[in-house]
Amino acid sequence: MKEQLKKAEERMGRRYDHMCREFAEIRAGRANPAVLDKVKVDYYGAPTPVNQLAAVSVTEARTLTIQPWDASILRQIEKAIQKSDIGINPMNDGKLIRLVFPPLTEDRRKEITKDVQKIAEDTKVQVRNVRRDAIEKLKAMKKAGELTEDDLKNGEKKTQDLTDKFVKKIDAASAAKQKEILEL
């Protein structure tokens, strides 16, 4: 039974971590290096993430600076950013690239908060699916004679407690991201 609970907790944790990565990629009007996580640059024939080719830093609230370690790759980084779907035009001064994040309109902020709510709700559904699977496995173990009725009830309660814990974490992360987006 403990093994089933441990597996369920790991699966729920992976769902939560994935949601947090999705939240990090959402542009909230301020500079965030995570928006470049999906941008790959063709470096000697291999698609390489920007953060492995350059120092990426937030210089001002809405400005991201990319300083490559190899100056010859500057044009390729700029082209990769332009091809990507982050929606920001890079400014190349010959030594580094600046990404200036435009302020978001009120309507766009509301749209983004709806997206955040949807991602959070989808993650909660995934966590509840993990709970359902775990409880089904516990019931199968009881049917096979591996668990007693009391162990089954205890396992169901622990699985529900675990689910509640992750749902609270998801709600807290969602609320924090929505607050960040709605701040001016």
> Domain 33-100, CATH 3.30.1360.40 — does that match?
yes
Write down the domain spans for the chain: 2-25+105-182, 33-100
Tell me, what amino acid is at 63? Answer: T
The rounded percent of the chain whose pLDDT value lies above 90 is 39
Local confidence band at 59 (pLDDT 50, 70, 90 cut-offs): confident
pLDDT tens figures, 120-147: 999 999 999 999 999 999 999 989 988 8
CATH of 2-25+105-182, one of 1.10.132.20, 2.40.30.20, 1.10.3330.10, 3.40.50.1100: 1.10.132.20
Q: Residue 81 has what pLDDT?
A: 87
Q: Name the average pLDDT for the chain.
A: 88
Query: Under a CB-based contact definition with an 8 Å cutoff, are residues 159 and 151 in contact?
Result: no
Distance from the Cα of residue 25 to its chain's centroid:
7
Q: Residue 120 has what pLDDT?
A: 95
Strands 63-68 and 46-49: unpaired
Whether residue 117 has pLDDT greater than 80: yes
CB neighbour list of residue 28: distance below 8 Å, 6 or more residues apart:
104, 112, 177, 180, 181
> Across the beta sheet with 63-68, what order do the strands follow?
54-60, 63-68, 97-100, 91-92
**Apex CA 14: angle with CA 161 and CA 38, to 5°?**
150
Is the fold of 2-25+105-182 the same as that of 33-100?
no
Whether residue 179 has pLDDT greater than 70: yes
| Tokens coding 27 | 């542009």
